[in-house]
Amino acid sequence: MPYCAHCRWHYDGAPSFCRQCGRKVYRNGLSGDFALHEEISPSVPAWLTDRRAYVLVALVAIGSALVVMSRGVAGSTTGLTGFPLDEAWVRLVYARSLASEARLAFNPGPAEASISSALWIGLLALLIKTLGAVGVSVVALAKGVGIAAAAGAAVLSLIATRKLTGSPAVALAVGMLVALDPTFAFAGASGIEASLFAFLTLAFLIAFLDRRLVIAAAILALSILTRFEAVALAAAAAVAVAVPSMTRLRSMSFSRPTPRMALSIAVAVFAAPLAFLAWGYIDGTGDDGMMPRAAYLAALLWQAAPEVSISAVWQGYFASHVWFLTGYAALIGVPLVVIGILTIIRDTGWRGSLIVTYPLTVTLAAAFLLSDARAPWGFERRRILDALVPFFAIIVAYGAMGLWRGCQRLNRNASYDTKAAARGIAVFTAVAIAFPPTLALGSTWDRLSSDYLVSTRRLADTYFTLALYARDALPPDALIAAIEPGTLRYVSRNPVADGRGLHTRALSYRQPLESMSAARAEYAALPMAPSYTSWPAATLMKEFAAPPWLGGPGVGLFRVEPTRLATKDVPGAFPTDRLRRLDYLDVGNDLSEKAHAYAVGTDGGVSRGARRLSRAVSVDDEARGFQGFETFEIAAVPGRDLILARRFDGTRATFLMSLDGQALGEWQPRLGDHVVNEDTVRIPGALIRRDRVRVRLEIVGSGASAASRAYWAFVDE
């Protein structure tokens, strides 16, 4: 039955406007609990309500993204021509495959899709097929779409706020907050779908508030095809519709839907699940069921998550990247957010509740999945929440409105003698609200624009340069294994095995080095970190490093070939030709541990793997992790210096050492260039009184851990 959301009048027939107030009449039965502000006061300046406001906000958003990209352009153009994250190149690999071969495949051969954004890849494939055919760079296409979507999201945030509040000034402020947000500008210029997802979620919000069910359902389906996090948006919208509908049903005031309205409701209910299943069909496997690969892996992380950690999300994202919550600005920002949430609930009821429940749900999900990430997040993690920036801006705007209303009530209730003081309090409140966050905005801009330059330059100087070298120096069909496969696959065009198992599913659920071995690749592109350079099968061919001021490890191109392992009971990191071996304790071997009365404080379990000790020596050995202490008996010669050698995993630890109960002092075994290390300590012969001594090593520091692989006892020849 047609009705007016403002006057609550219901009409027979098919009127277009309310006879009482003249506003537009809605035609479905999902009446809300508040009225949208479709009309603007004539006293409002025209430029705040027409297209000039939209153009202003869009231009500011585009300018913000260009400022982020152009930082340091005088010294390097990588900010304009590169991406800050390898995932952007991964999406281009799939888009190129879809455009040229009409299939989703990361490598030649059988299609093996594992896409993180179906709509983004499809859109890029269309642009590559059209604009790319006339010579437009794929980097320009990806960045252009992202920046355009960011500008569109800023405009839609303005429109949504104006519908909600009826204030063009507040709406323009929200649009400008989104357009000037450095985190959102970074996301728009990143070459991935964060800004497009924000654009679609805001479009859904507007259609949902306007009760355009079919349009809202179609936009929601596109949102799910962009990111599976839109499932949280669908759930929030379902709650916003179901609760008032159930209330009306209990009160027997629910009108019987017409066939057209019933069809609209059916489309709204089934569009989102069908989109999710369609993505799962093209991207899932027998293990994943009908879930998209990214959603399936997120579900596994959810199951393995130890606990929810709000502090991790606060420290990693909000306190470091949301400008009105960083530093001292949080003293203003946190109360504004709380007041904004309460004001939204009071003003909009259930229909507007998804403005709060949707970002809250996604934030809680991030608190589960990233509970161990307490340092400021890089863009790889930050992009999960960047699409929520427009919703945060709306909440903050409502907080400022709620605070201003309180000041106005104080002014109205003040006596004649105190009105001047009340006005002063209102002005002071406005200045206090604006000043600290404005200062924080400037510092956040400086930090994030610098971060964009560093990220793009590091990726360009490492993986991109390596990919160019591989394209020229390696056979075109040579298989390369890599932890970051996107740049290498797109630029070199060589087949690339993804060591994370995401795009090479045969390598899923393995440790990185285990997956490298299982890939049977001829070459490997690996970070120059001890955990990777210690892989025995890898021989360094060429290293690619960013300038020292950028920080971070370089990347090496390694040749992968079988290697001969040394005997594990012989030390490989120091010479033993002038030493006589007395004893050998093989840690992790039950018989050897029993023979030497080996014991630890808290047992961390046994692991095994082949690792490099030096460039020439590699061993396959067990390691036992522990906390607290370890103790064992080992052979000695009374009166002669005992040289105790230890093979261990490369965790820096300091031990309090004792021999037969006598304190010997501290020992900190030296670390080398690889994961597995060896070091020795000389114990004076004056302390050796028996031919078998008990050694105890206690870790200094509570909660610290270590891992031992072997011990030897030597004396000088």
Within a domain: 514 = no
How many separate domains does the chain show?
Answer: 2
Q: Same structural domain for residues 584 and 445?
A: no
What's the pLDDT at 713?
96
Write down which residue in 388, 422, 449 finishes a domain.
449
Question: For the domain that residue 636 is a member of, what is the CATH number?
Answer: 2.60.120.260
d(CA 595, CA 484): 45
As given in the structure block, the two tokens for residue 281 are 């069909």
CA 288, 292, 298, 302 torsion-angle sign: negative
What's the pLDDT at 270?
77
**DSSP symbol at 10:** B
Within a domain: 632 = yes
What's the pLDDT at 14?
66
What's the pLDDT at 28?
44
What's the pLDDT at 322?
87
What's the pLDDT at 311?
83
Within a domain: 492 = no
Within a domain: 23 = no
What's the pLDDT at 29?
39
Within a domain: 205 = yes
Write down which residue in 417, 449, 481 finishes a domain.
449
Range of the domain at 590: 579-716
d(CA 675, CA 670): 12
Closest CA to 404 of 427, 376, 379: 427
Within a domain: 317 = yes
Q: Give rounded-to-5 percent helix, strand, coil for the chain.
A: 50, 15, 30
Write down which residue in 401, 422, 449 finishes a domain.
449
In three-state secondary structure terms, 559 is strand
Q: pTM of the entire structure?
A: 0.84
Within a domain: 519 = no
Residues in the chain, pLDDT under 70: 1-14, 16-50, 72, 74-75, 113, 244-268, 284-290, 301-306, 371-374, 410-438, 549-550
What's the pLDDT at 8?
47
d(CA 424, CA 428): 6
Q: What distance lies between CA 668 and its chain's CA centroid?
A: 36
In three-state secondary structure terms, 519 is helix
Within a domain: 466 = no
Cβ atoms < 10 Å from Cβ of 686: 9
Enumerate residues 6+ apart whose C-beta is below 8 A from 559: 522, 523, 538, 539, 541
* Rg, Å, the chain Cα set: 32
Q: Same structural domain for residues 443 and 587?
A: no
d(CA 637, CA 689): 8
Q: Which amino acid is at 61?
A: A
